[in-house]
């Protein structure tokens, strides 16, 4: 037995899906040729060099430097994610509750740095934080310090600049989730006698968690691959995984040694996505219909 | 990415094409009358064009097509692997030529056909390459921090944090850094090779707590010194002299500098091999070589350049390869660095940095 109305709606749905696929196909083609094929090619090179070999992976497994770099990279990424969350949450929250004019202003401030190159921002932090930089000179001028503080060329400088660069990736998904939380729920909470802080902790915060998870995942994953910022603001000893990739191109004289490092990082990122997606439908948070 | 220069040769190119229309033989003649030369771009390549490439092209009556690649090595490999390289002559760090020779990527040179190179010191060439220009890794310092009468003058001084308090930077790379460490430990500049790698790393451990930054690019080394972020740094001579030309209170010494070079080599199966060989001879011609330092702070690779009268005594005193300065320095052995020992030392570097 078929229900004619259901049949029509099903057909409509199919046709819509087909249309969507057709519309998306140029983008899919671009992704295929510019992302999937090169990554596949690199993956192939990491296991094939005059015959199949796992040498490149054995090296990563057995040499300490890779472990140390992966560990350091994950540590820094975690720290950056945490700081971005602490800074980003209040910003996104503020943007949700203020009037429209203020909201535009706040979001503009968040998005504006987006349009500045990462390199320029790294140098700007250098100008602000170095020994003869603006901040140290100011602190010396007002007499708080006698000796300039070491604010860059260490992991502190690296983390500060990285948080700054990645903050929009935290704020925007957070804001996206928060502004969809119905205000009536808070009103209902208030009408039942909940204090503002109680309502925030029991109603608003749990409902905003998908945004937290989405933002945190984005920031964490992006941070894993950072190269320019630690290179410019670190002291040279902050060897992140991306730096090992470039070093391996130089040292081993073949792409495979470098792409193996990249593949391990890629697999780690996929694993993270997999774990996170068990808790939350990422596609719903990142790509809202 | 490739930057093609040589617009000045457009006229001659047109002429060649016009001649080519008359028959196959002239097309072949045209093909052998040009080469593709590759260097590292920027101010350096422009300086060479005026000093060396244009005069060489004029004298040989050939067209020099230019290309540039900051890191030509992977492209060299790919081009030779295809069996039909488009590049002829490359100007690359000397180590690339040596490694290329070992891997069959560059042509062996017959120095009988390159008399200008044959007359150069044997240490300035290999079976596959001839040195093209010199630069040096030198000890540079802030004159604000260290007045002229109390300036550091050796790597032992650089290591001496009591006599020379201050912040330091070294290059985040074993090249020249291991050499400096050994000289700081008392090894004579001409007795460095084969490097005692363990001893060098031990000596580096000693200075590590006092190294604020391990720099990764030449621009960074200059910026660190210029901004007062560090007081003493190992840097390339051209970077430091550029700063002091701009008025920065910085100086450097050639004493115990590590003399490094780029070299010319010819890709295996280069399309214009005979022309490339005659070009090599012109490229290291004493007069052409002497013209180079008139346009940039690099030293000629052919010592005879200093006898041509083109370089004044005052200018020679500033150049890394001037005999007077070269005597005070160590000549980097690219042969050692591309040996298995050298490669092993290079691999140790990151582990040293992480600890």
Q: What is the pLDDT along chain A (289 residues), one digit of tens a residue?
A: 556 667 778 888 888 888 888 999 999 999 899 989 999 998 998 998 888 888 889 988 888 899 899 999 999 999 999 999 999 999 999 999 899 999 999 999 998 888 888 889 988 999 999 988 899 999 988 988 888 888 889 889 999 999 999 999 999 999 999 999 998 888 888 888 888 889 988 889 889 998 998 899 899 999 998 988 888 888 888 889 998 888 888 787 778 889 999 999 999 888 888 887 887 665 655 554 4
Residues 55-94 of A with CB under 8 A from B: 63-65, 68-69, 72
Summarize the confidence of residues B232-253 as an average pLDDT. Answer: 95
The alpha-carbon gap from B350 to the nearest alpha carbon of chain A, in Å, equals 7
Among B220, B347, B354, the residue with its CB nearest the CB of A237 is: B354
Considering the domain boundaries, does residue B172 fall inside one?
yes
Based on the fold, state whether residues B209 and B311 are members of the same structural domain. no
Q: How far is CA A289 from CA A117, A179, A286, in A?
A: 30, 15, 10
Interface check A97 vs B, CB under 8 A:
no
Considering the domain boundaries, does residue B170 fall inside one?
yes
Per-residue confidence (pLDDT) for residue A289, from 0 to 100: 40
CB contact under 8 A, B227 and A131: yes
CB contact under 8 A, B350 and A64: no
Interface check A251 vs B, CB under 8 A:
yes
Based on the fold, state whether residues B19 and B98 are members of the same structural domain. yes
Look over chain B and give the mean of its residue pLDDT values, rounded to a whole number: 90
CB contact under 8 A, A130 and B227: yes
Considering the domain boundaries, does residue B1 fall inside one?
no
Who wins on pLDDT, B189 or A7? B189
Based on the fold, state whether residues B161 and B280 are members of the same structural domain. no
Based on the fold, state whether residues B215 and B241 are members of the same structural domain. yes
Please give the share of chain B, as a percent, with pLDDT higher than 90. Answer: 85
Q: Which residues of chain B does A45 touch, with a Cβ-Cβ cutoff of 8 Å?
A: none
The alpha-carbon gap from A29 to the nearest alpha carbon of chain B, in Å, equals 24
CB contact under 8 A, A237 and B343: no
Could you tell me the residue ranges of all domains in chain A?
1-47, 57-286
Based on the fold, state whether residues B213 and B280 are members of the same structural domain. no
> Which CATH number is B271's domain given?
3.40.190.10
The alpha-carbon gap from B175 to the nearest alpha carbon of chain A, in Å, equals 13
Cα–Cα distance for residue pair A170/A84, rounded to 1 Å: 7
Interface check A253 vs B, CB under 8 A:
yes
Based on the fold, state whether residues B148 and B171 are members of the same structural domain. yes
Based on the fold, state whether residues B288 and B233 are members of the same structural domain. no
CATH 1.10.3720.10, applies to A57-286: yes
| Predicted TM-score of the model (pTM) | 0.84
The residue range of the domain holding B42 is 7-134+261-330
Phi, psi of A102 (to 5 degrees): -65, -35
Q: What ipTM was reported for this prediction?
A: 0.80
Based on the fold, state whether residues B35 and B72 are members of the same structural domain. yes
The alpha-carbon gap from B71 to the nearest alpha carbon of chain A, in Å, equals 10
The alpha-carbon gap from B25 to the nearest alpha carbon of chain A, in Å, equals 41
Best residue in B229, B249, B338 for a mutation probing chain A (most A CBs within 10 Å): B229
Based on the fold, state whether residues B228 and B343 are members of the same structural domain. yes
Q: Which residues of chain B does A63 touch, with a Cβ-Cβ cutoff of 8 Å?
A: 351
Interface check A153 vs B, CB under 8 A:
yes
Chain B: which residues have CB within 8 Å of chain A?
Answer: 74, 77, 99, 172, 212-216, 220, 223, 227-229, 343, 346-347, 350-351, 353-354
CB contact under 8 A, A65 and B214: no
Does residue A251 contact residue A260 with C-beta atoms inside 8 Å?
no
Based on the fold, state whether residues B119 and B68 are members of the same structural domain. yes
- Tokens coding B269: 């199966």
User: Does the pLDDT of residue B67 top 80, yes or no?
Assistant: yes
Domains in chain B, number: 2
Based on the fold, state whether residues B225 and B345 are members of the same structural domain. yes
Summarize the confidence of residues B13-38 as an average pLDDT. Answer: 55
């Amino acid at each position: 037995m078929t229900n004619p109305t259901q049949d029509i709606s099903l057909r409509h749905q199919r046709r819509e899906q087909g249309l969507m696929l057709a519309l998306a196909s140029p983008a899919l083609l671009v992704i295929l040729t510019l992302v999937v094929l090169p990554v596949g090619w690199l993956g192939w090179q990491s296991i094939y060099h005059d015959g199949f070999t796992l040498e490149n992976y054995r090296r990563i497994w057995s040499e300490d430097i890779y472990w140390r770099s992966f560990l350091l990279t994950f540590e820094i990424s975690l720290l950056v994610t945490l700081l971005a969350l602490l800074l980003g949450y209040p910003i996104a929250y503020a943007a949700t509750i203020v009037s429209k004019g203020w909201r535009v202003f706040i979001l503009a401030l968040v998005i504006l740095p987006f349009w500045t190159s990462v390199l320029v921002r790294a140098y700007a932090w250098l100008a602000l934080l170095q020994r003869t930089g603006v901040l140290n000179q100011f602190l010396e001028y007002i007499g708080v310090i006698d000796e300039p503080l070491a604010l860059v060329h260490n992991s502190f400088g690296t983390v500060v600049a990285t948080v700054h660069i990645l903050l929009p990736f935290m704020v925007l998904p957070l804001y996206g989730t928060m502004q969809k939380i119905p205000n009536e729920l808070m009103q209902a909470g208030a009408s039942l006698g909940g204090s503002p802080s109680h309502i925030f902790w029991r109603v608003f915060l749990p409902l905003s968690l998908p945004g937290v998870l989405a933002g945190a995942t984005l920031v964490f994953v992006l941070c894993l691959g950072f190269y320019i910022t630690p290179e410019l603001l670190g002291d040279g000893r902050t060897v992140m995984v991306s730096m090992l990739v470039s070093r391996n191109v130089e040292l081993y004289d073949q792409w495979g040694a470098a792409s193996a490092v990249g593949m391990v990082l890629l697999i780690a990122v996929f694993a993270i996505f997999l774990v996170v997606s068990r808790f939350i439908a990422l596609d719903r948070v990142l790509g809202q219909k | 990415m490739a930057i093609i220069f040589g617009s000045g040769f457009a006229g001659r190119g047109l002429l060649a094409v016009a001649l080519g229309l008359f028959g196959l033989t002239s097309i072949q003649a045209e093909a052998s009358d040009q080469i593709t030369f590759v260097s590292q771009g920027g101010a350096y390549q422009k300086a060479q064009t005026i000093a060396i490439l244009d005069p060489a092209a004029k004298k040989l009556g050939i067209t020099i097509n230019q290309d540039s690649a900051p890191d030509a090595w992977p492209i060299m490999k790919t081009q030779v692997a295809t069996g039909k390289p488009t590049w002829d002559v490359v100007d690359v760090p000397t180590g690339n030529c040596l490694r290329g020779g070992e891997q069959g990527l560059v042509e062996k040179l017959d120095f009988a056909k390159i008399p200008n190179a044959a007359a150069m010191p044997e240490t300035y060439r290999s079976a596959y390459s001839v040195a093209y220009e010199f630069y040096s890794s030198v000890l540079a310092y802030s004159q604000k921090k260290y007045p002229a009468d109390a300036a550091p003058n050796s790597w032992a001084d650089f290591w001496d944090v009591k006599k020379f308090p201050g912040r330091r930077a070294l290059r985040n790379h074993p090249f020249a850094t291991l050499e400096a460490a050994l000289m700081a430990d008392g090894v004579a500049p001409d007795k460095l090779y084969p490097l005692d790698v363990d001893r060098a790393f031990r000596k580096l451990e000693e200075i590590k707590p006092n190294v604020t930054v391990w720099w990764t690019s030449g621009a960074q080394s200059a910026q660190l010194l210029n901004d007062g972020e560090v007081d003493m740094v190992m840097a390339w001579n051209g970077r430091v002299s550029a700063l002091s030309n701009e008025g920065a209170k910085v100086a450097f010494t050639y004493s115990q500098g590590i003399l490094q070079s780029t070299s010319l080599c010819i890709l295996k199966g280069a399309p214009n091999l005979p022309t490339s060989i005659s070009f090599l001879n012109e490229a290291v011609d004493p007069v052409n070589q002497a013209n180079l330092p008139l346009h940039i702070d690099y030293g000629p690779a052919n010592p005879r350049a200093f006898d041509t009268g083109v370089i004044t005594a005052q200018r020679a005193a500033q150049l890394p390869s001037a005999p007077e300065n070269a005597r005070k320095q160590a000549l980097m052995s690219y042969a050692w660095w591309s040996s298995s020992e050298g490669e092993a030392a290079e691999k140790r570097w990151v582990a040293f940095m992480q600890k």
